[in-house]
Amino acid sequence: MSAQDQIKDTVTSNDVVLFMKGTKTMPQCGFSSRVAGVLNFMGIEYQDVNVLADEEVRQGIKEYSDWPTIPQLYVKGEFVGGCDIVTEMTLSGELDQLFDAKGVAYDKAKAEEIRAANA
């Protein structure tokens, strides 16, 4: 299976996927840590993909999304964005709206806590 096929299969067979450096329990960069931290804090079930474990996936995800940086968040097969976009969407409430629209369960009170702490 090619890296592109593997990426497509992962993105389409999981509701929420985070391509990141490291894992959700042990991120290996600050940007990946921030996005994983938001998802973990909000209680979102997601598949983490450690791009450091496979160079083909690391390069392949950049081509798949036409986005040059990692981490990359996907929700129901749709590319959402990287660290800055996820952070902005979290603080504006747009991430909640996306999860609501896509039927992804999360802790709404925790999402509010994040916004209150950053107000």
Is 83 marked as binding a ligand? no
Tell me the C-alpha distance between 32 and 5, whole Å. Answer: 23
Sort 23 into a burial class: Cβ within 10 Å, 0-12 / 13-18 / 19+.
Answer: middle
| CB distance 16 to 69 below 8 Å | no
Instruction: List, as residue ranges, the binding site for [2Fe-2S] cluster.
Output: 29
Instruction: List, as residue ranges, the binding site.
Output: 29
